[in-house]
Amino acid sequence: MSELPSNLAGFRSELQTATSRDLKRTSRRRHIFIRAGAAGAVALVVLGVLSVVNVFGSNGPSIVEKAQAALATPGNLILHFKTSATQNNKDGTVDTFSDEYWQLSSAPYTWRRIEILGNAPAVENGYGAGGLAQIYDPSTSTVYEGKDPSVPADVVGGPGFGGFKKDALKLLSAAGTKVESHVKVDGRDAIRIISGDGMQTYTVDAKTDEPLIWQAKDKYAEVTLYITYEKLAGTPENATLVDLTKQHPGATIDTDQTDYENALSKAFSKG
148 part of a folded domain? no
The pTM of the full predicted model, rounded to 2 decimals, is 0.77
Into how many domains does the chain fold?
Answer: 1
Segments forming the whole domain that contains residue 74 = 11-119+160-233
- On whether residue 251 sits in a domain, the answer given is no
Each residue's pLDDT tens digit, 79-94: 999 999 988 898 999 9
Indicate the average pLDDT of the chain: 78
Q: Is the pLDDT of residue 271 over 70?
A: no
130, 154, 156 from 107: Cα distances, Å: 12, 7, 9
Q: Is the pLDDT of residue 39 over 60?
A: no
Domain membership flag for residue 240: no
Give percent above pLDDT 70 in the chain.
73
**pLDDT value, residue 181:** 78
Which are the contacts of 98, defined by CB distance < 8 A and separation ≥ 6? Answer: 39, 82, 83, 84, 85, 114, 115, 116
Mean local confidence (pLDDT), 197-217: 92
Query: Which of the four pLDDT bands, split at 50, 70 and 90, describes residue 158?
Result: low
Lowest-pLDDT choice from 56-60, 101-105, 163-167: 56-60
With respect to residue 42, please indicate whether it lies within any of the assigned structural domains. yes
Within a domain: residue 86? Answer: yes
Decide if pLDDT at 19 tops 80: no
Looking up residue 25, the CATH number of its domain turns out to be: 2.50.20
The secondary structure of residue 108, as a DSSP letter, is T
The reply to whether 265 falls in a domain is no
Domain membership flag for residue 78: yes
Residue 259 maps to a domain: no
Across 25-39, 87-101, 131-145, least confident range: 25-39
What was the pLDDT predicted at 156? Answer: 53
Q: How confident is the model at residue 42 (pLDDT cuts 50, 70, 90)?
A: very low
| Residues forming a β-bridge with 192 | 181, 203
